Structure 1
Amino acid sequence: MTLEVTQNSAGVTANSPGAARGNAATLASDFETFLKMLTAQARYQDPLDPIDSTEYAAQLAQFSMVEQQVLTNDRLAALSAGFDTFTAASLASWIGMETQAAAPAQFGGAPVTIVPSVAGGADAAVLVVKDASGAPVQRLPIGTSDAPFDWMGQDDSGAPFPQGVYSFEVESRKNGELLSTAPAAVYARVAEARIEEGKVILVLQGGGEVAAAAVTALRRPS
């Protein structure tokens, strides 16, 4: 007597929280039935020709795979339901807020708050400022702390840089050797929020775009 567990018994794709609850109930019922059948199989096996223990292990593993598929489908359904709650009205609260993300920033004369990402073990770090074309326009030594600081938008002589879009990178060094180069996060004001293929996209002042999932902090403009 050999039990067969098929995906048709429990592998139902969930498209809603209600479907997810139904899948959980189906899974519990199927698992109880499976255990009863497995117990009966062991009880009524031929004592002169007992079932190999590896068959039990294989059957349990097969059911476990189906169980994991159902649970994964349920989690995907929950995520899908969460995305469905994003509407144009709910996205309105993003407009005008300042988001922290590794994205270019619009410089309009006011300081830009930089959130550096310095590699562990570095004994020196340099902020590299690039213009809209990607050309470096300034290199500023900074500390090895990840604490935010303001970029004043001035060159080495104190003259202001032209207004426009700038991006920032942090070079981490140790004993003069380059350890890593990583984008620095900035605070930028949100001008528009929209949904594209189920993802929330934020349009920043200056035209830069960043996925809402990449935002690491949010604040009201001071």
Structure 2
Amino acid sequence: MEIDSSFGNFAGNAQGGSSPGQSDFVTFLQMLTTQMQNQDPLNPMEASDFAVQLATFAGVEQQTYTNQLLATMIGQTGLSDLGGWVGMEARIYGGAHFSGTPIELTPDPALGADEVLLIVRNDNDEIVDSRSIGPETQSYLWDGQDAQGNTLPDGTYRFEIESRLDGEELDTQPVAAYIPILEARYQDGVTMLVLPGGLFVESAMVTGLRRPADPSEAEMP
């Protein structure tokens, strides 16, 4: 049985192309060719049957490609919107990178506390600074120094506050910091924000967004 040369051309085009699902399409053509070569010569399949198989696969392939294209467009739209975040400051829990520049924190002491302690931990979860702040403090500029007034080395630090009343601990909560956004990336279906110090965080983790603040407006120790 003679095979139409257009099948070979079609397979060659599929192998040379770069559209999604091309490897599946080449596999389908190979299976179709094998099916044609091994069919019963006394009862061959009708050409229309092959055409139906080809049309069915092409329809599924096109739908898959359309879905992938739509997903890509949605992701690019979200990334375009986040492009406006670059240069802004994001309020994020989980720590911040210190490199000599004070970091603005947003503590939220427990209601009724008469004493609040700011605790700073390094990458090894060691306490490197502990200081008292006002019970009503909502914005605090951490200067990067330890209890002895020595500037701490560059690195990532985490912050928490311990609220007390009459010497008794009420609770301990993490503290968010305002961190500059250097870049926004769409990666593995998730929009990631690039922060100073090579830190990455998902955009969904941002709890606030603002233009760079004037450091003089925050409380210094």
TM-score using structure 1 length: 0.56
Which position in structure 2 is the counterpart of 1:147?
138
Secondary structure of the residue aligned to 1:213 is helix
Query: Which amino acid is the alignment partner of residue 147 of structure 2?
Result: D
The structure 1 residue matched to 2:176, chosen from 179, 182, 185, is 185
Q: Which runs of no fewer than 5 residues in structure 2 stay unpaired?
A: 1-70, 214-221
- Note the 1:65-214 alignment, pairs <5 A: 86-195=77-186, 199-214=190-205
TM-score using structure 2 length: 0.57
> Does the Cα contact within 8 Å between 2:180 and 2:195 map onto a contact in 1?
yes
Distance in 1 of aligned mates of 2:198 and 2:146: 24
Distance in 2 of aligned mates of 1:126 and 1:109: 22
Which position in structure 2 is the counterpart of 1:49?
none
- The answer to whether the aligner puts 1:215 opposite 2:206 as a matched pair is yes
Relative to structure 1, the CA distance from residue 132 to residue 86 in structure 2 (aligned partners, 3 Å threshold; closer, same or farther) is: farther
Secondary structure of the residue aligned to 1:88 is helix
> Does the Cα contact within 8 Å between 2:104 and 2:142 map onto a contact in 1?
yes
Residue 198 of structure 1, CA deviation: 5.3
Distance in 1 of aligned mates of 2:189 and 2:172: 31
> Does the Cα contact within 8 Å between 1:189 and 1:204 map onto a contact in 2?
yes
Residue 188 of structure 1, CA deviation: 0.7
Secondary structure of the residue aligned to 1:90 is helix
Distance in 1 of aligned mates of 2:165 and 2:198: 36
Q: Which runs of no fewer than 5 residues in structure 1 stay unpaired?
A: 1-79
Aligned-pair identity in percent equals 40
Distance in 1 of aligned mates of 2:114 and 2:202: 32
Residue 131 of structure 1, CA deviation: 0.8
Deviations 1:164-184 (A, max 9, x none): 111101111112121111110
Relative to structure 1, the CA distance from residue 107 to residue 89 in structure 2 (aligned partners, 3 Å threshold; closer, same or farther) is: same
Q: Which has the larger radius of gyration?
A: 2
Distance in 2 of aligned mates of 1:144 and 1:97: 28
Taking only aligned residues, the RMSD between alpha carbons, in angstroms, comes to 2.3
Runs of 4 or more above 4 Å deviation: 196-199
